[in-house]
Amino acid sequence: MSTLLQEKARELLDQNEVSLVIGYGEFFRRTTDKSPQRIISPVFISKPDEAKSLIWNDHCVYNLSTYLIRKEVKAHRRIALVAKGCDVKSICVLIQENQIKRNNLVIIGLTCQGVVGNTPHGYAEKCYSCQLHTPNLYDILIPAQNRRSTGVTHAPERGEKRDCAGNCHEICQGSCHGSGQGNHEGNCQGSRDGSGHGNCQGSRDGSSHGNCHESCQGSGQGSNQRSHQGDCQGNCQGSRDGSSHGNCQGKIDQLDRMDQMDRVDMMDRMSSIERWLFWKAQFSRCIRCYACRNICPLCYCERCIADKSNPQWIEKGSLSGNLSFHIIRAFHLAGRCTNCGECERVCPMGIPLSLLTRKMAQVVKDLFQFEPGLSPGIKPFWGNLQCESEQSVIGEESFINGKWNNGKWNQGVWNNGGKR
């Protein structure tokens, strides 16, 4: 399928329809292992000949739409972007919010059957609830490599295990590295060199992170170098959880083995004290590198409130500042975040940020029956709250015990048709 992608990209550049194609490319990284590691990383292509470096496989985890809001990219007249269904959701929101012009963008949509991630089953968490394995908006569509013999294209089913043995060893040498958690990396570092070992190499210390267990079980039961040394106990099952290394907090460990919505449920079941302690522990690790914000396609404020120092809204050198930053960011994304999961993937400290955004998405969906990113044509969520009409999206029951519709709020703060 990469070939088709390359052809299309070449055509676009050849015919001068676009001046830049942003897609996924394959890189070879030198490591201290025998063979170089093949990784997937974003590529910017402006010459037709370079189109051959484009690639599409299930290690293309990045949400490239984040580059659309960069001024270097905006300077181009028209560009093409390679995007999976989940990435197109972000594009929809950007169009809704008038950040990019649809006409200046050629979307090369990818039919996707799930990308690798850090769940125990090997897919990214978002994949299990994905409804857009074929993007809802595209100009060119590239089909996926068929995962199943039936040839049916669909997202992985809940709990479905990613089949590593098949082609992982070819492509996945850590291609999804990039997150400090290393969990992506761990995935299927299969036996590319044929030796049958070296699975789980991905994580920086192998022992702790992510889904070594998945890869080990999937492909190489053999001598798992790192896991031996990092006392990762056999096939890394213990990864990240308290069982093999002592003192991790139980909650976090359980979370790691859950699918996304289960994790949100679990957060809900925590008492408020538990939740507070949980987040305090998480955010005390934050180093304020802002990788979460900078990778986010929807964090496009030219000057982030976290960067302002006169007046300074958010402390820069304290836990309370970390808390403020993440909570404010989550609120800014309510009704907008499409849960592409990039913030969590890139966090070098392994903070489970998508728990926040997921929860916000759940609330927005429950209260307002709104899911962001499904259509570029409708008004954005925050621009569409109506307080006057009987059929207000803010139902009496659903918002602050029905008190919302009383009093002055109603009379013209939101969507008042010009009256004040």
Partner 1 sequence: MITRFITRNSIRELIPNLLTAFHVVAPVYSGNVTSFKRISSYEEIKWLDYNTDKPPKEFFLPPSDDIFQFQQHGKKIVLTEPVNHHAPRIILGVRPCDAAALTVLDRVFTEKGIDVLYTALRDNTLVIGQSCPKPGRDCFCTSVGISPDESRNMDIMLTDIGEDQFLVNLVSSKGEDFFSYFSHFFQESAEMSGSGYEPVQTREVAVYLKKEKIFDVRVIKKWLDTHFENPFWADIAARCIGCGACTFLCPTCHCFDFTDESVVQPIDHRNGGYKGVRRRIWDSCSFDHFTQTSFSGAASRTGAEAEAGTGAGVWTGAASRTRAGTGEGDGAGAGTVTRARAGAEAWAGAQAGLRAGTGAGAGAGTRARAGAEAWAGAQAGLRVGTGAGAGEQAGLRAGTGAGAGAGTRAGAEAGAWAGAVSGAGHQRRTTQEQRFRQRIMHKFKYFVDLFQRVACVGCGRCRSLCPVGIDLVEVLETIHDLFYQS
Using CA atoms, how far residue 254 sits from 17, 77, 296, in Å, is 50, 48, 27
How does 201-225 read in b/e, with b if 16+ C-beta sit within 10 Å? bbbeebbbbbbbbbbbbbbbeeebb
The answer to whether 261 contacts partner 1 (rule: CB under 8 A) is no
Rounded Cα–Cα distance for residues 359 and 351 (Å): 15
The answer to whether 15 contacts partner 1 (rule: CB under 8 A) is no
Q: Which amino acid is residue 326, in one-letter code?
A: H
Rounded Cα–Cα distance for residues 137 and 194 (Å): 41
- Of 205, 265, 268, 274, which one interacts with partner 1 (CB under 8 A)? 205
| 407 CB-near residues (< 8 Å, 6+ apart) | none
The answer to whether 115 contacts partner 1 (rule: CB under 8 A) is no
Element (H, E) at 25: strand 20-29
- Residue number with CB closer to partner 1 (111 or 339): 339
Axis crossing angle, helix 354-368 with helix 260-269, rounded to the nearest 10: 80
Instruction: Give the interface segment with partner 1, choosing from 81-89, 130-138, 306-314, 366-374 (CB under 8 A).
Output: 306-314
The answer to whether 210 contacts partner 1 (rule: CB under 8 A) is yes
- Residue number with CB closer to partner 1 (156 or 350): 350
The answer to whether 62 contacts partner 1 (rule: CB under 8 A) is yes
Block residue for tokens 């703060």: 413
The first and second tokens of residue 110, run together, are: 């990818």
- Residue number with CB closer to partner 1 (35 or 405): 35
Element (H, E) at 151: none
Instruction: Give the interface segment with partner 1, choosing from 11-19, 145-153, 161-169, 286-294 (CB under 8 A).
Output: 286-294
- Residue number with CB closer to partner 1 (293 or 329): 293
- Residue number with CB closer to partner 1 (36 or 383): 36
The answer to whether 324 contacts partner 1 (rule: CB under 8 A) is no
Instruction: Give the interface segment with partner 1, choosing from 34-42, 266-274, 392-400, 405-413 (CB under 8 A).
Output: 34-42
Rounded Cα–Cα distance for residues 344 and 398 (Å): 30
Q: In whole angstroms, how close is the CB of 66 to partner 1 at the nearest point?
A: 7
Rounded Cα–Cα distance for residues 114 and 111 (Å): 9
Instruction: Give the interface segment with partner 1, choosing from 147-155, 203-211, 214-222, 412-420 (CB under 8 A).
Output: 203-211
- Residue number with CB closer to partner 1 (72 or 390): 72
- Tell me which residue of 204, 278, 206 sits closest to 248, measured CA to CA: 278
- Residue number with CB closer to partner 1 (267 or 387): 267
Q: In whole angstroms, how close is the CB of 360 to partner 1 at the nearest point?
A: 22
Rounded Cα–Cα distance for residues 47 and 20 (Å): 8
Q: In whole angstroms, how close is the CB of 236 to partner 1 at the nearest point?
A: 13
- Tell me which residue of 109, 106, 89 sits closest to 97, measured CA to CA: 89
Note the Cα 337 to chain centre separation in Å. Answer: 10
Q: In whole angstroms, how close is the CB of 187 to partner 1 at the nearest point?
A: 14
The answer to whether 66 contacts partner 1 (rule: CB under 8 A) is yes
Q: In whole angstroms, how close is the CB of 98 to partner 1 at the nearest point?
A: 22
Q: In whole angstroms, how close is the CB of 361 to partner 1 at the nearest point?
A: 22
Q: In whole angstroms, how close is the CB of 416 to partner 1 at the nearest point?
A: 35
- Of 2, 111, 134, 183, which one interacts with partner 1 (CB under 8 A)? 183
Rounded Cα–Cα distance for residues 97 and 120 (Å): 35
Q: In whole angstroms, how close is the CB of 229 to partner 1 at the nearest point?
A: 5
Using CA atoms, how far residue 217 sits from 162, 190, 194, in Å, is 11, 11, 17
- Of 85, 120, 202, 238, which one interacts with partner 1 (CB under 8 A)? 202
